[in-house]
Structure formats: C-alpha cells, structure tokens
Amino acid sequence: GEDVEQSLFLSVREGDSSVINCTYTDSSSTYLYWYKQEPGAGLQLLTYIFSNMDMKQDQRLTVLLNKKDKHLSLRIADTQTGDSAIYFCAEKGGSSYKLIFGSGTRLLVRP
Amino acid sequence: DGGITQSPKYLFRKEGQNVTLSCEQNLNHDAMYWYRQDPGQGLRLIYYSQIVNDFQKGDIAEGYSVSREKKESFPLTVTSAQKNPTAFYLCASNGASSYNSPLHFGNGTRLTVT
C-alpha cells in the first residue's frame, strides 16, 4: 500500500537553513503537502506542490520534488526559533481524496 | 472566520465509559475525517465521511463510532471497547469534490482515560 516516510528529528542553529526530507511510494500521487504542527495544536497547511512541478517557492519555504525518486523536501531559509515544530509530509493519490501522512519530523531550532 | 472547532480541548474519563468528541466545521466542506495521533506514530485515520448520512472505516476503526447527520458536524464516540483510548484526536475536513483538496484541521482534543 501507500507509504510516506520521514526522518524523526532535525536540529539546526537559528539563522541556518533547514531541510526536511520525505519519501513516498505511490507513483500516482497528484498533490504533495507540507503541514506544521505546534505543541498541543492541530496541523497547519504550509504549502503544497502538484506532481508535475519540480519546485515551488513561497517566501522562506522552498519545496523540491524529485518524482523519479519519489522524494520531496522542504527547505526553510533563515530558520527561526518560531519554526520549531513537527513537520508532516502528506501525499494524495490520483484516485483518492484521502491524504497519507508521514510520521512527522520534529525540528528543533537552537538559539 | 471559517474553520473547524473541536471541543473540549482536554477530556478525562474513567475506563469503561463511552465518551463523545465534538467536531463542527463552517467551511461548507463535504468530507470530514477523524485521526488519532500518538507520539512518534504520525496520524492514523479512524473514520471518514464524504457526504451526509454516509461514512467509512479508516485504518483503526475498532472501538470507535461516528455519525454524520449534518454536513457541519461529525462527532466521534470512543467506546469502552477501544483498548487504548488515551491519545490526541484530530478532526479534519476538505472539499472532496475538489481535485486539490488539502485537509483543514481543528486544534484537537486530548483524551485521557484512567
């Protein structure tokens, strides 16, 4: 079945760039999403990319998609302490309205 | 402002009791979902509903029940049959008929059963 995998933890220094990686197995994926979860809260949609795109930039966020390798990444430029959170990657298959989520990457930004 | 409201934020129950978690949305979304989140395990789908009066089991439906009598509301009942009910529960919705349909989430209910 479909699967989405992420590394569990990433620690960066404030001001550096963060890169969070995700791999997925569903070759019929149409949209891929990045969500942010702060402690005790729901998930907030950060950005998304359509599967026929390679890159999408939105202010400090850059999403890269390598469809051949089924690899998605989220780069956060000039990472701030407020970016500390759990980041979830999710994919939507071609014929489904459901999203499949990864297990989340906890980002810790050190001052 | 449109959004999803989950209540209460924290819920405490004794083992053996059923408990119902509320989820209301004013986004006019057709589809609604319930997820369970445990530490380090991401989100697991419990139940989902594409239209009123219809719902389907997700990956971990055992011990849970839902109803969808109104488009805006999708309450989740955690029954005494659920073996390990303590978790963070998230409700979400999207426009199922839309090709690009990101999920919108509520702020969650943390259920503790002792």
Burial of B64 (0-12, 13-18, 19+ CB in 10 A): buried
CB contacts, 8 Å: B110 with chain A = 40
For residue A2, the distance in angstroms to the closest alpha carbon of chain B comes to 13
CB contact under 8 A, B105 and A44: yes
pLDDT surpassing 80 at residue B40: no
**pLDDT of amino acid B71:** 96
CB contact under 8 A, B90 and A99: no
Average pLDDT over residues B8-24: 94
Closest CA to B31 of B60, B64, B58, B1: B58
- pLDDT tens series, chain A, 111 aa: 678 999 999 999 999 999 999 999 887 878 899 999 998 899 999 999 988 889 999 999 999 999 999 999 999 999 999 999 999 999 887 666 678 899 999 999 999
E strand or H helix at A31: strand A31-37
CA distance B23 to B7: 7
C-beta of residue B69 within 8 angstroms of C-beta of residue B87:
no
pLDDT band at B66 (very low <50, low <70, confident <90, very high): very high
**pLDDT of amino acid B5:** 96
- Best of B4, B9, B21, B43 to disrupt the A interface (most A CBs within 10 Å) is B43
Tokens of B111: 């259920």
More confident residue, A21 or B98: A21
- Interface residue B41 vs chain A (CB under 8 A): yes
CB contacts, 8 Å: A50 with chain B = 100
**pLDDT of amino acid B39:** 81
For residue B21, the distance in angstroms to the closest alpha carbon of chain A comes to 15
For residue A16, the distance in angstroms to the closest alpha carbon of chain B comes to 25
pLDDT surpassing 80 at residue B88: yes
**pLDDT of amino acid B41:** 75
Size of interface A-B (CB pairs under 8 A): 55
| Cα B47 from chain centre | 7
pLDDT band at B75 (very low <50, low <70, confident <90, very high): very high
Question: pLDDT over 70 for what percent of chain B?
Answer: 95
**pLDDT of amino acid B17:** 92
Which of B42, B48, B92 is the closest to A103 by Cβ? B42
For residue A38, the distance in angstroms to the closest alpha carbon of chain B comes to 10
CB contact under 8 A, A97 and B41: no
**pLDDT of amino acid B96:** 62
Burial of A106 (0-12, 13-18, 19+ CB in 10 A): middle
**pLDDT of amino acid B1:** 64
Contacts of A66 (CB under 8 A, 6+ apart): A54, A72
CB contact under 8 A, B102 and A41: no
pLDDT surpassing 90 at residue B97: no
